[in-house]
Amino acid sequence: MAEATFQKTLSLTNAFRCLECGKCTAVCPISRYNGTYSPRRIVGRLISENPANVALDPNVWTCLTCGLCNARCPSDVKYSAMTKVLRREAFRLHNDPSCSHGGALQAMMRIHATSNQPQDRMGWVTGDLKIAEKGEWGYFVGCLPYFDALFSDLESNTLAIAKSVVKVLNVLGIEPVVMKDERCCGHDLLWGGDIENFKLLAERNVKMIRATGVKKVLTACPECYRTLAVDYPEVVGPLGFQMVYITELLADVSAQLEKKLGEIKKTVSFQDPCRLGRHMGIYDSPRRMINLIPGVQFNEMTKRGPGAICCGTSAWQNCDATSKRIQTDRLLGAYNVGAEMLVTSCPKCYVHFKCALQGESIPEDKKVEVKDLIVLLAEALNSK
């Protein structure tokens, strides 16, 4: 973007109001383990030198954009939004991130954005799952079919999340519309600075959703939820449909759902996804769902809710030793409060923690099971 536009866009994030108090760095999960990274230092450079120079710094890709510093800043510097602006300029200047998994996921997203090649992504819809071609509710599945293939070595079975969503909805009398040619939401391209391909994905997905005639669209992915609800309207205008996160719907019908849940005897803790919590303000409904399951003992971790630490990796980039230390600490945090299971409500959190459990950083006798919340609810329905 032009320098004047770049400067103006940065100013909208309140970056130039920084008092250099250092509270952002004090709470930053990355700074805790990586002494070379400091949010305060990045903002200080924006104030003292040409912002374009900062966009060339590899550290613009280090931030998790988890939002913890946003919540602590006394000057209301919107650090995550500032990082998004810097990354867009960095991408333009060919300062690229280190992409996880060989950049396969980013390549897939760009193919989704630019190709008309039809997909074969409906194989997970088995005969016991009821979906519709028309109706009030749509279900935006996200990249779960691709995660299942890419992370087969982790035995992640992310498609169990999609199946569980439809199963729970069916129990409530809802047969959701599922799109055969749905594309990736583009979250990672947006936070990777590739705004042009993100716009193409937004336009394609919104056009497809509108064509179904649904009034409300559910998702069980916090990144999809934030992207469609907040970021899409910025590039395509009013959506013409309402976005709903799955646990918000389930909380509204909790009395109906509770009657159908069987007992699961487990002590669990919960991982707050950054996109669901600090980005979208949803903390209560996932916890209500956990407490709804008979037999479950729910023990909160020390850092939870608005103060929770994220899963250590964002947008499939810069996954490194620091990321693994954050993930290890979160898993041990669950173990230390007596949990046998860490419940997630984000497919990426689930994948990242499953990956961390494969290593040797956690003793076998301290490893906890990791399970998605909607999968846990579906299992409770099965145990009735």
**Mean pLDDT on 63-85:** 93
**Mean pLDDT on 364-374:** 97
pLDDT in the model for residue 360: 84
Q: Looking at the domain that runs over 100-251, which CATH code has it been given?
A: 3.40.50
Kindly tell me if the per-residue pLDDT of 384 is higher than 80: no
**Mean pLDDT on 241-270:** 96
Nearby residues of 384 by Cβ (< 8 Å), 6 or more positions away? 260, 261, 262
Instruction: Assess whether the region 100-251 and the region 260-382 belong to the same CATH fold.
Output: yes
Assign 3 a pLDDT band (cuts: 50, 70, 90). Answer: low
Kindly tell me if the per-residue pLDDT of 2 is higher than 70: no
Beta bridge partners of 380: none
Task: Give the 3-state secondary structure of residue 383.
Answer: coil
pLDDT in the model for residue 1: 59
User: CB–CB of 165/127 below 8 Å?
Assistant: no
User: CB–CB of 82/10 below 8 Å?
Assistant: yes
Residue with the bigger pLDDT between 87 and 5: it is 87
- The number of angstroms, rounded, from the C-alpha of 224 to the middle of its chain's C-alpha atoms is 7
Going from N- to C-terminal start, the domains of the chain cover: 3-92, 100-251, 260-382
User: CB–CB of 64/314 below 8 Å?
Assistant: yes
Q: How far apart are CA 326 and CA 313, in angstroms?
A: 9
User: CB–CB of 145/121 below 8 Å?
Assistant: yes
Q: What is the pLDDT of residues 186-237, one digit of tens each?
A: 999 999 999 999 999 999 999 999 999 999 999 999 999 999 999 999 999 9
Q: How far apart are CA 157 and CA 216, in angstroms?
A: 27
Q: What is the pLDDT of residues 83-136, one digit of tens each?
A: 999 999 999 999 998 888 888 999 999 999 999 888 889 999 999 999 999 999
Task: Identify residue 90 by its one-letter amino acid code.
Answer: A
- The number of angstroms, rounded, from the C-alpha of 21 to the middle of its chain's C-alpha atoms is 29
Assign 180 a pLDDT band (cuts: 50, 70, 90). Answer: very high
**Mean pLDDT on 19-48:** 92
Q: Tell me yes or no: is domain 260-382 CATH 3.30.160.
A: no
Kindly tell me if the per-residue pLDDT of 356 is higher than 70: yes
Domain 3-92, second-level architecture: Orthogonal Bundle (1.10)
User: CB–CB of 354/368 below 8 Å?
Assistant: no
